[in-house]
Amino acid sequence: MMKYLIFVESNTTGTGEIFLERASKAGYEPVLMYRDGNRYHFLNKAPFRTIKVDTSNIDHILHSVASELGTENVAGVWSTSEYYISTASELASLLNLPSLDCERIKAVRNKKFQREQLNRHQLSYTPFSEITDKAAVLHFVHSVGFPVIIKPVDCSGSVGVLAISDENELLRALSTVFGSSVSTTEWIIEKYYPGEQYSVEVFNSNIVGITHQHYDYFPRMIAVGHDFPALLETEKTTALTTLIGRVISLFGLTSGPVHIEVRFLQDENIKIIEVNPRLAGGYIPEIFRLSTGSDLIKACIDYCTGNIVDLSKPENNFSAIRFIVKGNKLNHRVFRCLKEKCQEAVLCFDENKRKESIFHGDFRDRYGHIIVMTPNVSAREDVIEILNNSSYPVMDT
């Protein structure tokens, strides 16, 4: 009998569907446990099993597993939704399967806790304060100066994140925070440091890659693209490697995937943006696979099913992604050029999402993407220049 690989909820816009497909390819029967089917456009597309259950209740999940699958038939448990990683880890532990440390994950997901620990241990010290009332926030800003950034402590995908350059913007932002519908009880405000942003992809304590990230729509923080591998001078790579090693040790994130976002300042200091106890999103695992020939998604599947994780890199290609954001359209001429120049050039988009009138100011505004790969690494700069012109602003949305 084929063993089940359970996914407790899923990423809805990135690699969630890919995980289900790869699990099937690896010889397991994927099972998606979900609470709200309306969140998943792929619910009836792929050949996998689904179980509707209250995924906020571990006892209900465990009962469904026992009654519908049989606990002895489960090979592994995972989640591609950041909000359910700790739940999946708890379920795996209850089933005596390989699991991440759910208590550490719960703690590290809180951005206030992250910043407290990093500052206490003098790792990328960043002034911050919890947002409790207007007077305290104004006092904090007057002490550190603009720009600053506000963020909810438990959200993902830049939801609620806003950079602020002056007091008028701050007062408008605070009115939003205190009247916010974002499902969090806590917000923090930090000193904002501009610079080039990168993410460090870690697995089982080892750095397996560094991605150059691109953000736009300031003061919002929408990721509009990623390049892999990032090009960093040896000195910067060494400094970053040392810092990441200390961060992983501090939070005890020594097994499984970790995705750490950092920013290099003009003076070459490194600021940690946030530590994510999960695999990278934004299709970074896909451009990593195209670049290296190694599969981070399969690594997660192997990890949670107790198999050997192999992240050796047989290839050395350049790969990148650019997202198409609401208010922009694909430049078809540019895409044709990319298809001629690259070994792979893949376009995906959702026309219905493009026409939505709501602008969120976060990952939800991305309605499509282009992924490219070329083995000709010397063509990197040309490809990036073309990619950066792959969409253009329009008036109609």
Digit-coded pLDDT (tens) for 53-105: 999 999 999 999 999 999 999 999 999 999 999 999 999 999 999 999 999 99
Please say if the pLDDT value at position 183 is more than 80.
no
Same-domain pairing of 83 and 137: no
Pairs from 33-42 (Cβ < 8 Å, separation ≥ 24) = 33/6, 33/7, 33/8, 33/9, 33/61, 33/64, 34/9, 34/10, 35/9, 39/12, 40/10, 40/12, 40/16, 41/12, 42/16, 42/17
Same-domain pairing of 168 and 215: no
Please say if the pLDDT value at position 396 is more than 60.
no
User: In the prediction, which pLDDT does 362 show?
Assistant: 84
Q: How far apart are CA 389 and CA 392, in angstroms?
A: 7
Same-domain pairing of 295 and 388: yes
The last residue of a domain, from among 148, 166, 191: 191
* Pick from 245-249, 301-305, 361-365: least confident: 361-365
Nearest by Cα to 274 from 162, 142, 115: 115
The confidence band for 397, taking pLDDT boundaries of 50, 70 and 90, is very low
Q: How far apart are CA 210 and CA 240, in angstroms?
A: 10
118 within some domain: no
Please say if the pLDDT value at position 209 is more than 70.
yes
Please say if the pLDDT value at position 46 is more than 70.
no
* Pick from 29-38, 192-201, 347-356: least confident: 347-356
Please say if the pLDDT value at position 151 is more than 60.
yes
Same-domain pairing of 136 and 92: no
Peptide bond into 229 cis (omega under 30): yes
Same-domain pairing of 132 and 272: no
Would strands 74-78 and 4-8 be described as parallel, antiparallel, or unpaired?
Answer: parallel
- Please state, for a pLDDT cut of 90, what percent of the chain lies above it: 78
User: In the prediction, which pLDDT does 382 show?
Assistant: 96
108 within some domain: no
Same-domain pairing of 140 and 93: no
Q: How far apart are CA 208 and CA 134, in angstroms?
A: 43
Distances (CA, A) of 237 to 53, 213, 241, 350: 45, 16, 6, 37
- Average pLDDT of 147-168? 89
Please say if the pLDDT value at position 395 is more than 80.
no
- Average pLDDT of 42-56? 87
User: In the prediction, which pLDDT does 173 show?
Assistant: 87
321 within some domain: yes
Dihedral angle, C-alpha 88, 89, 90, 92, nearest 10 °: 90
Please say if the pLDDT value at position 182 is more than 70.
no
The last residue of a domain, from among 62, 81, 99: 99
Same-domain pairing of 243 and 359: yes
Q: What is the mean pLDDT of the chain?
A: 93
pLDDT digits (tens, 9 = 90+) for 261-282: 999 999 989 999 999 999 999 9
312 within some domain: yes
Same-domain pairing of 296 and 325: yes
Q: In one letter, which amino acid is 169?
A: E
The last residue of a domain, from among 135, 165, 191: 191
User: In the prediction, which pLDDT does 244 show?
Assistant: 98
246 within some domain: yes
Same-domain pairing of 135 and 179: yes
The confidence band for 207, taking pLDDT boundaries of 50, 70 and 90, is very high
Q: How far apart are CA 101 and CA 277, in angstroms?
A: 10
The CATH number of the domain holding residue 24 is 3.40.50.20
- Please state, for a pLDDT cut of 70, what percent of the chain lies above it: 97
Nearest by Cα to 108 from 310, 282, 243, 247: 247
User: In the prediction, which pLDDT does 181 show?
Assistant: 59
The region that residue 158 occupies, defined by phi over 0 for left and psi between -120 and 50 for alpha, beta otherwise, is: left
335 within some domain: yes
User: In the prediction, which pLDDT does 158 show?
Assistant: 80
- Average pLDDT of 224-236? 97
Same-domain pairing of 82 and 135: no
Dihedral angle, C-alpha 287, 293, 296, 297, nearest 10 °: 90
- Could you tell me the residue range of the domain that residue 28 belongs to? 4-99
Q: Please check whether residue 187 is in contact with residue 151, taking contact to mean a CB–CB distance below 8 angstroms.
A: yes
The CATH number of the domain holding residue 146 is 3.30.1490.20
* Pick from 5-9, 152-156, 181-185, 374-378: least confident: 181-185
Same-domain pairing of 206 and 329: yes
104 within some domain: no
105 within some domain: no
Rg (CA), the chain: 21
Number of domains in the chain: 3
- Average pLDDT of 112-141? 95
Phi and psi at residue 382, to the nearest 5°: -65, -45
Q: How far apart are CA 120 and CA 85, in angstroms?
A: 26
Locate 355 and state its tokens.
């026409």
The CATH number of the domain holding residue 377 is 3.30.470.20
